[in-house]
A and B are shown apart, each in its own frame.
Chain A
C-alpha cells in the first residue's frame, strides 16, 4: 500500500518533447513508472522512447486510460496545462514547473475546487512510492520501500530526509514534495490524512519551512486526528523577516510564519521536532520509539 500512486498508476507527461520532459521521462521509465503517453501540442504522432505523443490531454487519456499526469512545461503555459489535465478528468496532476504567476494559480485553485482532480505542486519535486512509481524529478536510487511517509515543502531537503532514513535501513511508503509556492494543490493536511488512513504507513516525517500557516494548521490536525507518530523539521530558523528565501512562499511577513511559531505549535501537538536538518532521521527514530513501534 501507499498513497496517491502505486505500480498501477498510468502516467502522462505534459511537455514530453521539451528538454526537461524528455530527460525525466527517461529517468521515470528506468525506475519502472508506467509512462503511457506524452502531450505536446503540434507533435501528435511522434514518440519519445516509444511513448506516444498526443496534441491534447483529452486525446491521451482517451487512447491510454491514463489516470495521472506530470507537468514539465514552462511557467507561461503551466497553469493552462493544469487546467487542461483537470478538464480531461485526470485523477492526479503533478506540476513540477517553478515560477508560475500567483494570480494564475489563484484561478487554477478556484477551478480545481469544482473538480475531483488532486494537484501536487507546483514548484515541487513530485511524488514517489519506492519500488513502484516515481513521478517527478527526485533521484530514485536513494529511496527504499518501507513504512515511513514523508511530506515536504522543499525538494533537496526531502532527499536529505530520505537518505537519512534509508541509511538507517528505514524505508518509505510514499514521499511527496508539496512545493514551495504560496498557492499549491495538496497541502500538509491532505497528505497527513492520507498517511493516517494508509495501513502501510506507520510513521510520518514532515519538512516545513518559514512562511504561510500550513505547518500550524498541520499541527492542529496532528494533535486531534493523527494516531501515528510524526517527526518534523522547519527550515529557515535563521532567516531574517521580510526577505524571500528562494521559494515564493518562504517569507516571514507581518510577524507571521516564523520558524519558532511553527516549531512551538508542532511540539505542542506532540511532534518530535529536529532542531537541525542533520537530525531528521534521528527525530523519526525517537518519535517511533516513544510509540513502541518497530519500523526498520
Chain B
C-alpha cells in the first residue's frame, strides 16, 4: 500500500525525523491561507501536487510561489488538473490535494532509503551523495555512487551501519549525529509499521547546516495491514485503479493491462502463463486476474463484473485448473454471472481438474453461448480469434 508525501512526512515527524513544515490543502483558498504562514517578505513557498507517483516535479506538479496570492493561483490551476508522469501511465492522475511547504535553501542533496532485501531475508540501507530527481539515472550510469548496507530487521539498526552510511555521504561531526538519529528512526518506523519502503529523497543539508527531509515516500507490506489499522486509515482510494480497488474488496488479485481479452484464472502462476500464451498467439490480455484457490460462485461473479466493467474487453477467457477448487462450482459461478450480468462478448472456457465432467455438463446445458476449449493452448487460440472477430 502507498500513501501520500504529506502522510509520509507526518509519520516521519512522529519518529522525530526533521521534515520541512507544511500543510495539506484541498482548495485554493486553503492554500492562500497556509501560504501566508510560509511565504511573503522574501521567503518563498512550494506548492506540491499530492499524487501517488514519482516524477511530479518534471510533470509540473511542484511549483515555487513568492506570495500567498501566487500560491493561490498555482493551486487554482493545479487542483483538479491531471498530471502525467513516467509512473502514472497515459491515463495520468487527477490532483485532489496539494501540500504547501516552506522553500528551503540547500547546500547538498542526498538520497536515503531502507527497503527489503528479500533474497537475504533482510533489509538494506540505500544511500547516495547524489540525491534528488536524478537518482534513477545515477543508479543506471554510476551504480558505484549508491551504497547498499545490509540491515537485519531482527537485530535492528547498529552504530557501525550509521558510520558506514555517513562516510558514504561525506558527513561527519554534528551532521553524522543527525544522520544517525534519522537512520535509527527510519529503521524503527520500517519494522514498527511493516513497511516495504521508507525513502527520503532528497534529504538535504540546509544553509544553516542541518539535515532536513524535503520529500518522502513510505510503502507498506499489504500482508501486514491486518495489524495496522492506523495505516489502513491512510489509504486514498482515489489513487487506485477503480477495478483493482473493487477486486481487492472481493479478495481477488487483479491488475489492469491494456489489451482486450479479459482473463479469469485460478492461481497467480497460471494467470501469468495465460497472459503469456495469449500474447504468444498474437492477442493482448486486458488484465491479470487470479480468483484464488478457494473461489466461490460469488467470487467468480465478482470477477466477471470487474472484467465486464472494462469496456475495452472484446472476449473473455476463463482458464481453470481445478485442484481443490471444483470445476462444477466454477461452472455454476460462470453461468449465474453470465446470465445475471448479461454477457455481450464471446466467452471461451477451459476447465480441467476435479469434477471436470460435471462442470462441462453445467456449461453445455446452460444455454449460454460458451466456446469450449480442450486445453490451455486451444482456449487461448479461440479467445484471440474471437477478440479479433469482435474488433472487425
A residues with CB within 8 A of B: 20, 23-24, 27, 75-76, 98-107, 109-110, 125, 137-139, 142, 152-160, 163, 180, 182-183, 207, 209-210, 212-213, 233, 235-240, 242-250, 254, 275-278
Per-position 1/0 for B251-276, Cβ under 8 A of A? 00101010000000111111111111
Q: Which residues of B2-56 have CB atoms within 8 Å of chain A's CB atoms?
A: none
* CB <8 Å contact, B273 and A277: yes
What residues of chain A lie closer than 8 Å to B380, measured between beta carbons? 278
Residue in contact with B321 in the complex, picked from A103, A106, A156, A249, CB distance below 8 Å: A156
The answer to whether B368 has its CB under 8 Å from any CB of chain A is no
- Residue contacts A-B, CB under 8 angstroms, 26 given: A23-B324, A100-B223, A101-B221, A106-B122, A106-B153, A106-B154, A137-B323, A137-B324, A139-B323, A142-B353, A154-B268, A156-B293, A160-B273, A235-B269, A235-B273, A236-B276, A238-B285, A239-B288, A240-B257, A243-B288, A247-B269, A250-B272, A276-B273, A277-B277, A277-B376, A278-B380
* CB <8 Å contact, A103 and B377: no
Residue of A nearest to B255 (CB): A243
Interface SS majority for chain A: loop
* CB <8 Å contact, B288 and A245: yes
Given A109-B121, A239-B288, A276-B276: A102 touches B271 (CB 8 Å cut-off): no
B residues with CB within 8 A of A: 87, 116, 118-119, 121-123, 139, 152-154, 191, 194, 196, 221-224, 226-227, 253, 255, 257, 265-280, 285, 288, 290, 293-294, 321-324, 352-354, 375-377, 380
What residues of chain A lie closer than 8 Å to B118, measured between beta carbons? 102, 182-183, 212, 249
Residue in contact with B267 in the complex, picked from A142, A155, A163, CB distance below 8 Å: A155
Tell me the complex Cα distance, A198–B267, Å.
Answer: 30
Tell me the complex Cα distance, A268–B72, Å.
Answer: 60
* CB <8 Å contact, A156 and B323: yes
Residue of B nearest to A239 (CB): B272
Residue of B nearest to A277 (CB): B273
Given A236-B276, A278-B277: A153 touches B269 (CB 8 Å cut-off): yes
Tell me the complex Cα distance, A110–B123, Å.
Answer: 13
* CB <8 Å contact, A155 and B122: no
What residues of chain B lie closer than 8 Å to A76, measured between beta carbons? 226-227
Not counting A102-B224, A156-B266, A245-B255, a sample of 16 additional A-B residue pairs whose C-beta atoms are within 8 angstroms of each other reads A24-B324, A98-B293, A103-B191, A106-B121, A107-B153, A142-B353, A153-B269, A155-B293, A159-B353, A180-B268, A182-B116, A209-B272, A235-B276, A246-B271, A278-B277, A278-B376
